[in-house]
Structure 1
Amino acid sequence: MADRLGSLQELPIHLIQEILSNGQLSAADLARLEASCYAFRESYGFLPSRFKSMPELAAFQSCLADTMFFAMSLASRTELLNRCGSNWKLVLRFLQSVRQAFGSVETPKGNVQVTTGKYHTLLVEDGSLYNCGSSICGVLGHGPEITQCGSLTRLPLGLTVTHVSGSHNHAALVTQSGEVFTWGDNSSFCCGHGEVGCVIFRPTKIEALKGIICKQVATGLSYTVILTKYGQVYTCGSNSHGQLGHGDTLERTTPRKVERFNSLGPVLQIAAGVSHTMAVTEDGTLYTFGSGSNFCLGHGDPRDEFQPRAVQAFKRKNIHVIRVSAGDEHSVALDSNGYVYTWGKGYCGALGHGDEVDKTTPELLTGIKEHRAVQVCARKRKTFVLSDDGLVFAFGWMGFGSLGFVDRGISDKVVSPLVLETLKGYHISQISTGLYHTVAVTNKGLIFGFGDNERAQLGQESLRQCLEPREIKMWDVLEGPDIVLESL
């Protein structure tokens, strides 16, 4: 051991620091290095006095290189650092956890991302798309002859998938090259292929986006929101409440850019509900538009908004929003310090404030403010929150067991955030909840599901219901041609 330490100490300090700060190491990696090796706990007299170790300085430098942290004000950065006990490794863990929770989880099996719909589950692992459940309206993309998949099965696309969304009766994915493919129910032209109102049974490229590099998609009920690499937003489909953001209620058969964002700055993240849309810009401002029913927009009144409008409750308090989730009847936001805010319809305790009262504007969720939240996930009458230490908090309607509490009835209400004890033995890095089922991803790449399984949406063909989280296995497809369509 002494020889190994000596060899390490003989390396140029600047070289070691450069390796530690190259952005390839996670906060957990840096913490392990600091804890396991005495050489990394030394300052060697060259570190600034506020950094007691090389991993701590490396974490600080990685935070400065993070685009989300860079966009935060000095006050927001300072508050986050204080929330993390002046530990830069914890700040980095927070930033990395948020990015993975809303993007792809980096696991030993590859990058994993999950999204759940009404009666189906879509999952990306290492660039391949898997799905299970009901293929109503062709939402699984296997073709008209497949009506249900009883296990989580790979869809042979011949594409490298980086992001997928499929919250309702249609789905969309983004490839590594930035192309967007859609499929499923297209009666409202939400798939973006022009005057084609029929069901699209296989993933098909949106030709109208040719040459535009995209990075995220969000599928609402009968409409689609698309985010480009450079922060522009495109929308298509139903527009009865102005949820497309073009200043009117006319449907769009192909994606059209939301021009309002040209003057508001690049968009960082998007979310789509039943008929309301949310968009967070890089400066931490939340814009909402579409249906104002149930106060989902957070403007204090139930009026529809036909163009993006800033949520003033956050602006007035200089709250820097970093991520959001759009439920069916309520909305949830996460700020740069890991605090959670909810508003909209409070039925069944979906807002988590200990009651069922509607909130017309965002209200801080005090029940979990001592935890640093990294993901918020809302759906019909229920909400999930993940903390940076891997805990899962849930509240709202049990919905056939989809809230995950084994000691509650399938239609009970949980009006305040409670820890999901059945998953405490795992570090949950991402979660998605559908109409009656929920799927979670661990930092090791394990997939757990719970809730209703009548249509095999949990990938467990022999069960009708699963009250306790059960691991979901994936199956490969070894035969058959790629089924992706380049165009209609």
Structure 2
Amino acid sequence: MEENRKVKTGEEEEEEVWSWGAGTEGQLGTGRLQDEYLPQLLPRSFSSIGPISLLSCGGAHVVALISGGKVMTWGRGSSGELGHGELAQSLQPKSVEALSSSIITHVSAGWNHSAFVSDTGSLFTCGDGSFGQLGHGDYKSCSYPTQVSFLASKHVHQVACGMRHSLVLLKGQVYGFGSGKRGQLGISKDKVRFVNLPQPTIGLEDVEIVNVQANGDHSAALSNDGHFYTWGRSFVKGDSDSYIPQCLRTTAPLMSFTEAALGWNHALLLSGDGSLYSLGEYLGQGMMPMKDSPEYSNNTFTVKDVDLNGTKVLHVAAGAEHSALVTEFGAVMTWGWGEHGQLGFGSTDDQASPKMIILPCTFSDTVAKSRVYCGSGFTFFIRGKLPLNS
């Protein structure tokens, strides 16, 4: 789940930004066009852009929301997804000047499109629009963030970009647009190839949704009471896709979830007590063979415990076929597919279960505040420090 992280400025708090994995499009922000198998500490000039409130990693580009509502992007830009008005990659963070007059409160990066929400509830999109995922009523691409006029009279709170589709959260309603062939738009009980204007989802009208997620051909939402809804491509190979949102129901009392993250073939769910669960099959790529929990199952998928030997989890993230988490102690752990070095262990080996990444301890006498974010084959880790006497 992508959440804003408020960070104090000045001497009260600093932060480090680390990246690793696929980097041939400049998405790691290192200034090099190469994969990195070990975590790379980005230079101070990177962090000088300001405290990062939210980071969203797409197919091969990154969108960063900076404290104060400004936006920086870098990485692949061949479809205009960086919003700089050109079809070119950027090896370093670059300000999205077209949004300079707006205060941005939420951002999302898809496979090769991007979306931005302002404090006034306006939605802006750019990048590849060939499936209607920009919501402008056509199938054209756009290299500058352009307001989605169809939603001009509504107040958008959040946006989530998948591979070829987008979701927006309004008060009391979720809308979808773009590719819908796997049911990921949730707008009809019948198959929908694609739509180029936002359409309301079906079945969530009486549910108070507080967060939406999208990745690959999946869509998901969390309600204010911790219920998890998912629609689109099935998490189990061979099962039917879900064209409308389905609530995860169990034979035991429904577990309450506080955070979710979607990959291409799996999902991670974090409960209020810091326990982590997973949906999906073990395909040898991006999933671990975890112990079954039959009491948390239905006809579509089974929720499985991620065994961390009692360690509590504060935050989760999912790439295409790898996963990451932050523990209660501020440590980062990764597992899954490792072809591009996205696990950060110095090789391209896969990892079946969560393993801790050892980073140099540069924050003495501090309490670490950490967040992790995953793109399709790369990972970002932001480690902040807060003095113990604050």
| TM-score normalised according to structure 2 size | 0.81
Q: Aligned equivalents of 2:192 and 2:346: distance in 1?
A: 42
1:67-78 maps to which residues of 2 (within 5 A)? none
AA at the equivalent of 1:130:
W
Contact 2:130–2:140 (CA under 8 A) maintained in structure 1: yes
Instruction: Report which of the two has the higher share of strand.
Output: 2
Match of residue 122 from structure 2? 232
1:351-382 CA-to-partner distances (Å, cap 9, x unmatched) read: xxxx8222111111113762111122222121
Q: Aligned equivalents of 1:103 and 1:369: distance in 2?
A: 27
Q: Aligned equivalents of 2:307 and 2:121: distance in 1?
A: 38
Match of residue 305 from structure 1? 195
Q: Aligned equivalents of 1:424 and 1:215: distance in 2?
A: 37
SS of the equivalent of 1:366 reads coil
1:39-71 CA-to-partner distances (Å, cap 9, x unmatched) read: xxxxxxxxxxxxxxxxxxxxxxxxxxxxxxxxx
Compared CA separation, residues 444 and 242, structure 1 to 2 (3 A): same
1:249 partnered with 2:132 = no
Given candidates 285, 300, 308, the residue that maps to 1:423 is: 308
1:128-139 maps to which residues of 2 (within 5 A)? 128-139=16-27
Contact 2:210–2:224 (CA under 8 A) maintained in structure 1: yes
Match of residue 103 from structure 1? 3
Shift in Å, 1:177: 2.4
SS of the equivalent of 1:430 reads strand
Contact 1:174–1:180 (CA under 8 A) maintained in structure 2: yes
Instruction: Report which of the two has the higher share of helix.
Output: 1
1:325 partnered with 2:213 = yes
Given candidates 238, 262, 270, the residue that maps to 1:386 is: 270
1:57-76 maps to which residues of 2 (within 5 A)? none
Mark the runs of 5 or more structure 1 residues left unpaired by the alignment: 1-100, 112-124, 350-354, 409-413, 478-488
Given candidates 223, 243, 265, the residue that maps to 1:360 is: 243
Match of residue 397 from structure 1? 281
Compared CA separation, residues 405 and 153, structure 1 to 2 (3 A): farther
1:298-318 CA-to-partner distances (Å, cap 9, x unmatched) read: 012314221111113212xx1
Q: Aligned equivalents of 1:222 and 1:232: distance in 2?
A: 21
Contact 1:402–1:433 (CA under 8 A) maintained in structure 2: no
Compared CA separation, residues 417 and 455, structure 1 to 2 (3 A): same
SS of the equivalent of 1:356 reads coil
Q: Aligned equivalents of 1:442 and 1:180: distance in 2?
A: 28
Compared CA separation, residues 258 and 384, structure 1 to 2 (3 A): same
Shift in Å, 1:440: 0.7
Contact 1:141–1:201 (CA under 8 A) maintained in structure 2: yes
Compared CA separation, residues 454 and 381, structure 1 to 2 (3 A): closer
SS of the equivalent of 1:305 reads strand
Compared CA separation, residues 417 and 443, structure 1 to 2 (3 A): farther
1:414-467 CA-to-partner distances (Å, cap 9, x unmatched) read: 963333342251221221111221001123322111112232212111561221
Q: Aligned equivalents of 2:216 and 2:317: distance in 1?
A: 14
Contact 1:298–1:311 (CA under 8 A) maintained in structure 2: yes
Contact 2:230–2:245 (CA under 8 A) maintained in structure 1: yes
The alignment-based identity, stated in percent, is 26
Mark the runs of 5 or more structure 2 residues left unpaired by the alignment: 293-298, 363-390
Q: Aligned equivalents of 2:284 and 2:88: distance in 1?
A: 32
CA-based RMSD: 2.6
Given candidates 212, 220, 226, the residue that maps to 2:102 is: 212
SS of the equivalent of 2:151 reads helix
Shift in Å, 1:104: 5.0
SS of the equivalent of 1:208 reads helix
SS of the equivalent of 1:138 reads coil
1:197 partnered with 2:87 = yes
Compared CA separation, residues 256 and 127, structure 1 to 2 (3 A): farther
Compared CA separation, residues 310 and 404, structure 1 to 2 (3 A): same
Contact 2:16–2:41 (CA under 8 A) maintained in structure 1: no
Given candidates 255, 259, 262, the residue that maps to 1:371 is: 255
Compared CA separation, residues 274 and 437, structure 1 to 2 (3 A): same
Given candidates 411, 421, 439, the residue that maps to 2:324 is: 439
Match of residue 379 from structure 2? none
Shift in Å, 1:167: 2.4
1:183 partnered with 2:71 = no
Compared CA separation, residues 474 and 364, structure 1 to 2 (3 A): same
Contact 2:30–2:42 (CA under 8 A) maintained in structure 1: no
AA at the equivalent of 1:268:
H
Shift in Å, 1:231: 2.4
Shift in Å, 1:166: 1.1
SS of the equivalent of 2:236 reads helix
SS of the equivalent of 2:204 reads helix
Q: Aligned equivalents of 1:126 and 1:357: distance in 2?
A: 47
Shift in Å, 1:229: 2.7
Compared CA separation, residues 369 and 186, structure 1 to 2 (3 A): farther
Match of residue 168 from structure 2? 279
Shift in Å, 1:236: 0.4
Q: Aligned equivalents of 1:303 and 1:463: distance in 2?
A: 36
Shift in Å, 1:237: 0.7
Compared CA separation, residues 219 and 463, structure 1 to 2 (3 A): closer
Q: Aligned equivalents of 2:354 and 2:217: distance in 1?
A: 26
Contact 1:391–1:424 (CA under 8 A) maintained in structure 2: no
Match of residue 157 from structure 2? 268
